């Protein structure tokens, strides 16, 4: 019934349960704070609230089935969920990275052009709508790549590795919707960091309030850079494993296949854990959130 020993199943269940509770509580708190407190209704915080919504999306619809697929020998949830769950996970990841990209662009505009308000609250709401619609359309191929396979009397939900378009699609997704956005964000935050460092707080003319505002902006940039770095680090192992599985699986020996059985569930857990981490980062960097 279980694909691993009772010890591994127990550890996996506890690990996913911790993520579920933390992600549920922490992200609901983030949404409540942004919704209820007028000072929090900024463009940046709208995007942060959208990131929390995507994390809740993962928490409710992806986490439970990811755990069950990792610990059970067979797939018991039918062809519909076999196709929909991987699709929703892919959509949620793309929503998160699009949101992080939007935040980086918004902060770049705010720091580089402080006099002009380029991204207003209304524009931000339109961007958020696009952030959800675009991934929902782009990730549709996942529905066709996953299928129910009966092997030796056991029902599995698996990718159709015989589909010649699968490797091309996975490579395109990794490059276009993971590597390139991270490179863009790294570039924008590097430019922002240079700008902020040159504008030292102690050298700012004006009142103590002006200096406090500048210091607050610096903390926000540090917070957002940390969120981006943690997101990239959380999903990197799974992307590496997907890439290796698609292009080098034929070169794996028996020991590597055995290790793969344990590494993949951990990589999925690490990626899912990102849903619970962001609110902790906000609280660490921001007195307002605390």
**DSSP-assigned letters across all residues of 207-256:** -HHHHHHHHHHHHHHHHHHHHHHHHHHHHHHHHHHHHHHHHHGGG--HHH
94, 127 in Cβ contact below 8 A?
A: no
Q: How many domains does the chain have?
A: 1
CA torsion 95→100→101→107, rounded to 10°? Answer: 140
148, 82 in Cβ contact below 8 A?
A: yes
Q: Which residue has the higher pLDDT, 248 or 145?
A: 145
Number of H-type helices and E-type strands within the chain: 10, 2
262, 5 in Cβ contact below 8 A?
A: no
Residue 124 lies in a domain: yes
Helix (H, G, I), strand (E, B) or coil at 90: helix
User: Using 50, 70 and 90 to split pLDDT, how confident is the model at 234?
Assistant: very high
The predicted model gives 31-48 an average pLDDT of 91
The predicted structure's pLDDT at residue 256: 72
- Which residues lie closer than 8 Å to 163 by C-beta, 6 or more apart? 144, 145
pLDDT exceeds 80 at position 102 = yes
pLDDT exceeds 80 at position 196 = no
pLDDT-wise least confident of 118-132, 138-152, 177-191, 202-216: 202-216
User: Using 50, 70 and 90 to split pLDDT, how confident is the model at 111?
Assistant: confident
User: Using 50, 70 and 90 to split pLDDT, how confident is the model at 212?
Assistant: low
Q: What is the CATH number of the domain that holds 143?
A: 1.20.1070.10
User: Using 50, 70 and 90 to split pLDDT, how confident is the model at 205?
Assistant: low
Residue 277 lies in a domain: yes
19, 272 in Cβ contact below 8 A?
A: yes
pTM, to two decimals: 0.87
In 3D, which of 56, 43, 46 has the Cα closest to residue 119? Answer: 43
The predicted structure's pLDDT at residue 3: 81
Residue 245 lies in a domain: yes
Q: How far apart are CA 249 and CA 30, in angstroms?
A: 41
Residue 29 lies in a domain: yes
pLDDT exceeds 70 at position 249 = no
Residue 249 lies in a domain: yes
Task: Report the mean per-residue pLDDT for the chain.
Answer: 86
Range of the domain at 153: 6-285
Residue 1 lies in a domain: no
Structure confidence by residue, pLDDT tens digits, 66-96: 899 889 889 989 999 999 999 999 999 999 9
The predicted structure's pLDDT at residue 221: 80
Structure confidence by residue, pLDDT tens digits, 122-168: 999 999 999 999 999 999 999 999 999 988 888 989 888 788 888 89
CA torsion 36→40→42→47, rounded to 10°? Answer: -80
Residue 232 lies in a domain: yes
What value, to the nearest 5°, has the Cα angle with vertex 277 and ends 169 and 136?
30
Residue 198 lies in a domain: yes
Helix (H, G, I), strand (E, B) or coil at 265: helix
């Amino acid at each position: 019934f279980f694909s691993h020993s009772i010890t591994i199943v127990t550890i996996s269940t506890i690990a996913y349960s911790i993520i579920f509770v933390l992600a549920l509580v922490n992200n609901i708190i983030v949404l409540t704070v942004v919704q209820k407190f007028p000072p929090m209704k900024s463009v940046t915080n709208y995007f942060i609230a959208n990131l929390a919504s995507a994390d809740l999306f993962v928490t409710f619809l992806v986490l439970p089935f990811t755990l069950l697929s990792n610990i059970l020998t067979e797939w018991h949830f039918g062809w519909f969920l076999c196709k929909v769950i991987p699709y929703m996970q892919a959509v949620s990841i793309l929503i998160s990275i699009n949101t992080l990209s939007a935040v980086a662009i918004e902060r770049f505009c705010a720091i580089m052009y402080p006099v002009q308000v380029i991204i207003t609250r209304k524009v931000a709401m339109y961007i958020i709508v696009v952030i959800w619609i675009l991934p929902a359309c782009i990730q549709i191929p996942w529905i066709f790549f996953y299928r129910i396979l009966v092997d030796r009397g056991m029902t599995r939900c698996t990718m159709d590795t015989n589909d010649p378009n699968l490797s091309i699609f996975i490579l395109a997704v990794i490059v276009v919707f993971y590597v390139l956005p991270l490179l863009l964000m790294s570039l924008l935050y590097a430019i922002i960091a240079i700008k902020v460092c040159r504008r030292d707080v102690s050298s700012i003319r004006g009142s103590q309030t002006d200096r406090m505002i500048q210091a607050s902006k610096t903390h926000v940039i540090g917070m957002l850079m940390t969120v981006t770095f943690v997101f990239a680090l959380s999903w990197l192992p799974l992307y590496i494993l997907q890439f290796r599985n698609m292009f080098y699986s034929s070169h794996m020996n028996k020991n590597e296949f055995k290790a793969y059985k344990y590494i993949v569930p951990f990589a999925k857990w690490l990626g899912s854990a990102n849903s619970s981490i962001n609110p902790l980062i906000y609280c660490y960097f921001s007195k307002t959130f605390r």
